[in-house]
């Protein structure tokens, strides 16, 4: 026979304590009230104070080096090269003997011309005496008028013959002198295209050698006509100030990236535009005492073509771009909030951008912490040192 127990269950004190502790722990994780909104402090960003100043507009242009003077040696008489009087690649002086053509035939022609002139001068002397006598005798009717006229005509003929032979002698002397080819200019001479024993002809197309003056030396730079028009427009509107065109400094960057130690100056600008390339040539002149610059070398030149009178420098890291490619700076306004500002970044200058439009002096530009700066959000600021690096670098012409 089964027996049913109706005594109510009474939990022990230890079990009740365990239940209370468990419920307290759960309530601490899920039932706690959320943190009040706005309790986190505004993010901290680094700012700099924009300053408007005069910034040189430095342009970097490609160019080729060209000798300041160049002379191609060509013979002006025909003959056999008798000797070469220079070392290839050496420095030569103006008037220095370089080649000698066998002068034997030209010396003989010169001596023959001298003899012809002596004969002509002898005939002239006789004709002059006869003409003088006839001029006196015709006055007393001792000779006929016709005889006197014939004597005067013979004198004129003798004078013409003497002049012709004198010209022939001069030509023979010039040809004899041309057998000695001398350097027309001072400079460095290249390789010789002929050797002793070679036959050369007067005014041939091929040169015997080339002499080039390397100090000073020229650099021909190429700039597009569109850039020149933009410069002119900026000058006309007053955005750019002029520079002294007689002494525009130019610096060279060599093919290996080194900067050439000697500064140069802008010599002149071409007066016409190349129809095929739409560009103009600017020529700069550089000292080249060690002959480090050689004709044909490719270089890049940096020159100042104007001065932005009211521009600001900001670090590269401060500039961002929107989806359309517009340059933007993040500013902190008077209310301490982030404000995006479209600007015009004209070019790079060292580690900075040159801002020519959209930024006023005294405004606070965010230069670090941009990832925390949301437009319209409040931020805390700390001051950065203003940029001072103005070393000219490449000019991407960012717009």
Residue pLDDT, tens place only, 159-204: 999 999 999 999 999 999 999 999 999 999 999 999 999 999 998 9
At 98-108, the pLDDT tens digits run 999 999 999 99
227 band by pLDDT with thresholds 50, 70 and 90? confident
175-205 burial, b at 16+ Cβ within 10 Å, e below that, comes to bbebbebbbebbbbbeebebeeeeebeeeee
Is the pTM higher than 0.95?
Answer: no
* CA dihedral sign, ordered 243, 248, 253, 255: positive
What average pLDDT score do residues 256-284 get? 85
* Range in 18-22, 136-140, 289-293 with the lowest mean pLDDT: 18-22
Question: What pLDDT shows up at residue 4?
Answer: 44
Percent of the chain as helix, strand, coil, to the nearest 5: 30, 35, 35
* Region of residue 333 (phi > 0: left; psi between -120 and 50: alpha; otherwise: beta): beta
- Residues 244-267 have a mean pLDDT of 83
Residue 284 · residue 250 · CB < 8 Å:
yes
Q: Dump pLDDT digits (tens) for 108-155.
A: 999 999 999 999 999 999 999 999 999 989 888 888 999 999 999 999
Phi, psi of 129 (to 5 degrees): -65, -45
Give kind and range of the element (H or E) at residue 106: helix 104-137
So where are the chain's domains?
Answer: 45-55+309-383, 59-68+214-307, 79-102+179-206, 104-178
Closest C-alpha among 277, 293, 291 to residue 223? 277
For the segment 26-81, what is each residue's pLDDT rounded down to a tens digit?
444 444 455 454 457 888 888 888 888 888 777 888 999 999 999 999 999 999 99
pLDDT in tens, 370-397: 888 888 888 888 887 555 554 444 444 4
- Domain range 104-178, its CATH number among 1.10.3210, 1.10.3470, 3.50.70, 1.10.287: 1.10.287
pLDDT of residue 350: 78
Give the pairing type, strands 79-84 and 199-200: antiparallel
The CATH class, in words, for 59-68+214-307 is mainly beta
The pLDDT of residue 237 is: 64
Confidence (pLDDT) at 238:
59
Q: Nearest 5°: CA angle at 391, between 390 and 392?
A: 105
Q: Looking at domain 45-55+309-383, which of 3.30.465.10, 2.40.420.20, 2.60.40.10, 1.10.287.310 is its CATH number?
A: 2.40.420.20
Whether domain 79-102+179-206 has CATH 3.90.380.10: the reply is no
pLDDT value, residue 193: 94
CA atoms within 13 A on the CB side of 272: 3
Q: How far apart are CA 215 and CA 185, in angstroms?
A: 12
d(C-alpha 24, C-alpha 57), whole Å: 72
The residue among 29, 17, 37, 46 whose CA lies nearest residue 372 is 46
Three-state SS at 388: coil
Fold equal for 45-55+309-383 and 79-102+179-206: no
| Terminal Cα-to-Cα distance of the chain (whole angstroms) | 104
**Averaged pLDDT of the chain:** 83
What are 314-360's pLDDT values in tens digits?
998 888 888 888 888 989 888 888 888 899 888 887 788 888 888 88
């Amino acid at each position: 026979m089964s027996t049913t127990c109706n005594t109510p269950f009474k939990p022990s004190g230890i079990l009740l304590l365990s239940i209370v502790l468990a419920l307290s722990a759960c309530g601490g994780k899920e039932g706690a009230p959320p943190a009040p909104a706005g309790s986190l402090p505004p993010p901290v960003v680094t700012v700099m104070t924009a300053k408007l100043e005069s910034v040189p507009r430095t342009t970097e242009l490609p160019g080729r080096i060209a000798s300041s003077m160049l002379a191609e040696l060509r013979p002006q008489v025909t003959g056999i090269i008798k000797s070469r009087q220079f070392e290839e690649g050496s420095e030569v002086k103006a008037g220095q003997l370089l080649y000698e053509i066998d002068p034997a035939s030209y010396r003989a022609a010169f001596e023959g011309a001298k003899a012809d002139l002596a004969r002509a001068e002898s005939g002239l002397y006789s004709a002059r005496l006869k003409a003088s006598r006839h001029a006196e005798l015709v006055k007393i009717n001792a000779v006929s008028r016709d005889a006197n006229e014939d004597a005067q005509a013979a004198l004129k003929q003798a004078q013409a013959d003497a002049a012709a032979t004198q010209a022939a002698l001069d030509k023979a002397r010039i040809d004899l002198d041309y057998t000695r080819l001398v350097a027309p200019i001072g400079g460095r001479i290249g390789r010789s295209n002929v050797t002793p024993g070679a036959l050369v002809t007067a005014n041939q197309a091929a040169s015997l050698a080339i002499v080039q003056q390397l100090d000073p030396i020229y650099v021909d730079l190429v700039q597009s006509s569109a850039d020149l028009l933009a410069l002119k427009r900026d000058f006309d509107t007053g955005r750019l100030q002029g520079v002294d065109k007689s002494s525009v400094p130019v610096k060279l960057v060599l093919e290996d990236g080194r900067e050439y130690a000697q500064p140069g100056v802008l010599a002149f600008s071409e007066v016409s535009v190349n129809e095929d390339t739409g560009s103009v040539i600017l020529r700069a002149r550089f000292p080249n005492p060690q002959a480090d610059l050689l004709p044909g070398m490719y270089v890049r030149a940096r020159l100042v073509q104007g001065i932005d009178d009211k521009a600001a420098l900001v670090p590269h890291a401060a500039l961002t771009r929107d989806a359309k490619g517009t340059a933007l700076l993040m500013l902190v306004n008077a209310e301490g909030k982030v404000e995006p500002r479209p600007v015009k970044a004209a070019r790079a200058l060292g580690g900075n951008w040159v801002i020519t439009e959209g930024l006023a002096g005294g405004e606070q530009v965010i230069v670090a912490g941009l990832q925390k700066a949301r437009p319209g959000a409040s931020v805390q600021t700390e001051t950065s040192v203003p940029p001072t690096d103005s070393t000219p670098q490449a000019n991407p012409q960012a717009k």
